[in-house]
Amino acid sequence: MKSTTEYLTFRTKERREYINITRRIEEIVRESGVQEGLCLVNAMHITASVYINDAESGLIQDFDDFLERLAPHEPTSQYRHNRTGEDNGDAHIKRQVMGREVVVAITKGKLDFGPWEQIYYGEFDGRRPKRVLVKVIGE
């Protein structure tokens, strides 16, 4: 069994951003030499997500609107978590709805993707360095 572990670091300018990381994951899989296996990609922080969906700017805005409607950032006093001095109670909930991780099949040395699948890093409390883990296992 082969395995590879990589860490990507992101520091977004905005509180919430959505970054297409597909190319970087493809490179890691290629360099791993794994032909058949699994690739786990997960946010290492609990106010961010890794998810798979479309690289279409309108849809990304739709996701952001949806998440703000479900768990608005303001007023920050609506979240008990923020009594600890934080202001990111909403970000923990947004991350939970969008998910922490994706597991992608590797077939014949490549991410085995449908036509529109793209891997995104979803940041809900940015403006500081945060990490994503990539783990490849297989043969």
Q: Which residues bind a second copy (CB under 8 A)?
A: 1, 3, 5, 36-38, 40, 42-46, 51-54, 56-59, 61-63, 66, 70-71, 79-84, 89, 92-93, 95-105, 107, 112-117, 131, 133, 135, 137-139
Residue type, 129: P
Alpha carbons 32 and 35: distance in angstroms, whole number: 9
State the minimum distance, in angstroms, from the CB of residue 78 to a second copy: 9
Smallest distance, Å, CB 30 to a second copy? 18
Shortest CB 59 distance to a second copy, Å: 4
C-beta separation of 105 from 98 below 8 A = no
Indicate the residue among 26 and 99 with the shorter CB distance to a second copy: 99
Give which of 133, 132, 139, 129 is closest to 13, Cα–Cα: 129
Residue 57 CB neighbours (<10 A): 9
Determine the Cα–Cα distance for residues 115 and 99; give it in Å rounded to an integer. 21
Cβ distance to a second copy smaller for residue 30 or 116: 116
Minimum gap (Å) between residue 27 Cβ and a second copy:
18
Q: Which is nearer to a second copy, 75 or 114 (CB)?
A: 114
Q: Are 130 and 45 in contact, with CB atoms under 8 Å apart?
A: yes
